[in-house]
Amino acid sequence: MNDPGRYTILWVIATLCLALVPQAISMPLPVLIATSLPLLWRVGSEINRWKPLPALVRHGATALVLVTLFVSYGDMSGRRAAVSLLAVMLALKMIECYRIRDARFVVCFSLFLCATQFLFAQGVLMPVYAGTTVILALVTLAQLQRSEAWAYEGTPPAVKASWLSELSFSLRLVALAVPVGLALFVLFPRLASPLWGIPDTTLDSKSGLTDSMSPGSIQSLFMDDSPAFRVEFDGAAPPVSQLYWRGPIFWYFDGTTWEGGIYGVNATAADEPGEGEAGWDYTVQIEPNERNWLFALDYPTSAPEDTTLTMDFQLIRDQPITQLLQYRILSNPNFTDMPELISALRAQALDLPEDSNPRTRQLVRQWRQQTPGDPEFVQRVLDHFNREPFHYSLEAPLLGRNSVDEFLFDTRTGFCEHYASTFAVMMRMAGIPTRIVTGYMGGWYNRFGNYVLVRQSDAHAWTEVWLPGKGWTRVDPTAAVSPLRVQQGSLGALDSPRHLLDYEWMRGLRNRADIVQQRWNDWVVEYGAVRQAQLFAPLGLDKMTPAMLVIVLAIALAVFSAIVFPIVLRIKGPGSKDPVKQAWQKFLKRLEKAGFASSPAKGALEIAEAASLRLPSDSNDINRIAQIYTRIRYAPDPPPIAELRYAVHEFRPNKNAG
């Protein structure tokens, strides 16, 4: 008997489908199919009145779908896999969903599914998705409630509610709930530390720079326009061409791939640059990328919380960045990194695989004889890059075993990692200690938001050579080849657009629009215990304790209730139009047109009596309509409303009679 009514199930499925959208996009194809099939079957069965599937078929389908899920994901420990499991189970639930209880279950868990999506993305469009899902869920729940109330009763409801009026009703409900929801959000005390651990992997895939560099690794980032981080400078900011955001640093080279060095990661900064001389003071808001590097300008004076500052000035976080992270850094550009180089490090910074790149080796030996001084030699190689026909391009051919040889003498076309790698190898061949630095170069200065936006496509690789007296010195061989790369950013240096919509004005527009996301991140995503405590600082309350917050919350809720409750008590529900009354009003209007004005306080039969006197030729019709109206209103077995409507519709009083 607890049947959710025909087509209400379609609302339930619509709610589930909407909640599924972001998850479905990330699903492997077999899982997506496994999720859609049960839903499609249920839609078909609702429309065509198919019989419910026998239990054996349902259990078989469940087993099959679960196997598909496990095979597709392989490892079920990830969050995406777990959410997919939830999604698939809800879809399977639909094939046996014939009762209101089950339908409500699915709607509630659709909302839960919606909440899980925020683990993966908290972009500015997510509230639109969540809001639509909530409204749809409310409409569905309202319909289910109606079905349930009428479940024991055969007679159809006298007041029909259209889905449109239910939609507007839901919208009003949400609108009225927003103030209370916001008050709770702003004032509800946050946890200082999590109750249980946050898993390391939350994102669909790691993004950004990796812990090694081989030809093509940075090039692949070049196609990725997503923001890597945003920087707000407190006070003066360096020019964009000086923004070298230092990331992973590599010491080892095996002929094709550069990797980190033991010295790089495990040692803490031997002597940190003093803060007194700090040049740049800035806050970085880094997008989650599931990696451990924080980025900073040369040279960070100290490490933020839970982060180590290594000997080669990498900032390495203890935990991967799984959520939007904000940190503040002081950088001192006028610092000499390692005036003395210990022999172990020197050996490391000169190490090269034997017997490779003979042609380069030959060339370096020759040049080294001509230019014995280190700075001069560096300049000579850079000049070579600059003068010879080297190209900065995405279409770099693949290189073989003697990659440096091939690049230097044959292909001469490549990206920043080719230049950095070739340059570093040549330096090491010449006996100049060199290491590779990867990170980001430049950024887009957003004037409205007063921040610098650094995208993944700004990824870059350069080198540092150790020069006696000057310590580690940054040398960017790419700048020698393509000065535009440094001046205009990586995209400006390219000859052709990367894809169809890749034009300067588009990129500008997108960079400007990023301010919405930046503000969203700043005000909503990053809102937490610290901000909450400072909430009432302008009022002289510097530090709000949780107890104080609860008191303020209670006051705020009381105030909101005083405003909102009277409004709620006045709103009309869906479909509150009374067809009987409408028909009666229409009847009165027709009488008025014919020359009889009734006072609204009178009863129907009194009106009819008076009207009959005034319009004797129509007295039969008038009395009949009044009869029907009275019977609909008062008789225990009222005639159908349509009868009244029809009678009123047919009623044409004669004007001239009176």
Partner 1 sequence: MTQSTAIVEEKSGIGQRFDSWLLERVRRRRGPANLPFTLEYRHIYVLPTSFGVGFGVLLALMVIGGLNFNNNMTLMLGFLLAAIAQLTTLLAYRNLVGIRIEAIIARPVFVDESAGFRVMLRNPEERSRFAVRAVSPESVDCSDLGPQNSGQLELQQIAVRRGWMPMDPFRIENSYPLGLFRAWSVIVPQARCLVYPKPALHPPALPQTGRGDEGAAHQGEGEHFHGLREFQPGDPLRRIAWRTSARHQKLYSRVMEDPREEACELNWYLLGSGDTEEKLSILTAWILRAERSQIPYSLEMPGEALPAELGEEHRDACLKILALHGS
Which residues in the 137-176 window bind partner 1 by CB under 8 A?
Answer: 138, 141-142, 144-146, 148-150, 152-153, 157-159, 161, 169, 173-174, 176
Which window, 3-11, 19-27, 312-320, 570-578, contacts partner 1 (CB under 8 A)? 570-578
Residues 606-635, interacting with partner 1 (CB under 8 A): 627, 630-631, 633-635
Q: Judged by CB under 8 A, does residue 575 bind partner 1?
A: yes
Task: Report CA torsion sign: 489, 490, 492, 498.
Answer: negative
Dig out the tokens for 218 from the structure.
């940075």
If binding is defined by CB under 8 A, does position 640 make contact with partner 1? no
The size of the interface with partner 1 (CB under 8 A), counted in residues, is: 80
The tokens describing 347, both together, are 């050996």
- Comparing CB distances to partner 1, the nearer of 315 and 604 is 604
Stated as kind and residue range, the H or E segment containing 452 is: strand 451-455
Q: Looking at residue 209, what DSSP letter applies?
A: -
CB 417 within 8 A of CB 217: yes
Closer CB to partner 1, residue 492 or residue 603?
603
CA count, 13 A, side-chain hemisphere, 51: 4
In the complex, minimum distance from the CB of residue 96 to partner 1, in angstroms, rounded to a whole number: 18
What's CA 381's distance to the chain center, in Å?
Answer: 45
To which residue do tokens 């229409």 refer? 586
Q: How far is the CB of 160 from partner 1 (least distance, A)?
A: 9
Say how many C-beta atoms besides its own lie within 10 A of residue 504's C-beta.
Answer: 11
Give me the count of residues in the chain. Answer: 658
Q: Does 505 bind partner 1 (CB under 8 A)?
A: no
Structure tokens at 88: 């698939």
**Closest approach of partner 1 to the CB of residue 127, in Å:** 7
CB of 114 to partner 1, least distance (A): 7
| Closer to partner 1 by Cβ: residue 543 or 570 | 570
Q: Using alpha carbons only, what angle is made at residue 645 by residues 644 and 648, rounded to the nearest 5 degrees?
A: 85
Q: Using CB under 8 A, which residues numbered 290 to 329 contact partner 1?
A: 323
DSSP SS3 for 210: coil
Q: Give φ, ψ of 480 to 5 degrees.
A: -70, -35
Site for partner 1 in 521-560 (CB under 8 A): 524-525, 527-528
CB of 133 to partner 1, least distance (A): 9
Paired strand residues for 245? 440
Joined tokens for residue 382: 């850079």
CB of 168 vs partner 1, minimal distance in Å: 13
Question: Would you say the C-alpha torsion 488, 494, 495, 499 has a positive or negative sign?
Answer: negative
Q: Which of 605, 613, 642, 657 binds partner 1 (CB under 8 A)?
A: 605
Site string for partner 1, 80-119 (x = CB under 8 A): ---------------------x--xx--xx-xx-xx--xx
| Cβ 134 to partner 1 shortest distance, Å | 7
Residue 498 or 577 with smaller CB distance to partner 1: 577
- Using alpha carbons, select from 214, 170, 151, 227 the residue that is nearest to residue 517: 227
Rounded to whole angstroms, the Cα distance separating 117 from 80 reads 9
Binding mask 189-218 for partner 1 (x = CB under 8 A): -xx--xxx-x--------------------
Q: Which of residues 440-459 bind partner 1 (CB under 8 A)?
A: none
Whether the CB-CB separation of 411 and 399 falls below 8 Å is answered with: yes
Q: What b/e readout covers 83-104, taking b as 16+ CB neighbours within 10 angstroms?
A: bbbebbebbbbbbebbebebbb
Stretch near partner 1 under the rule CB under 8 A, chosen from 8-16, 274-282, 471-479, 567-575:
567-575
CB of 118 to partner 1, least distance (A): 4
* Residue with smaller CB distance to partner 1, 195 or 236: 195
Cβ density class 41-68: b for 16+ within 10 Å, e for less:
bbbebbeeeeeebeeeeeeebbeebeeb
Contact with partner 1 (CB under 8 A) among 581, 649, 652, 655 = 581
Segment near partner 1 (CB under 8 A), from 408-416, 448-456, 544-552, 566-574? 566-574
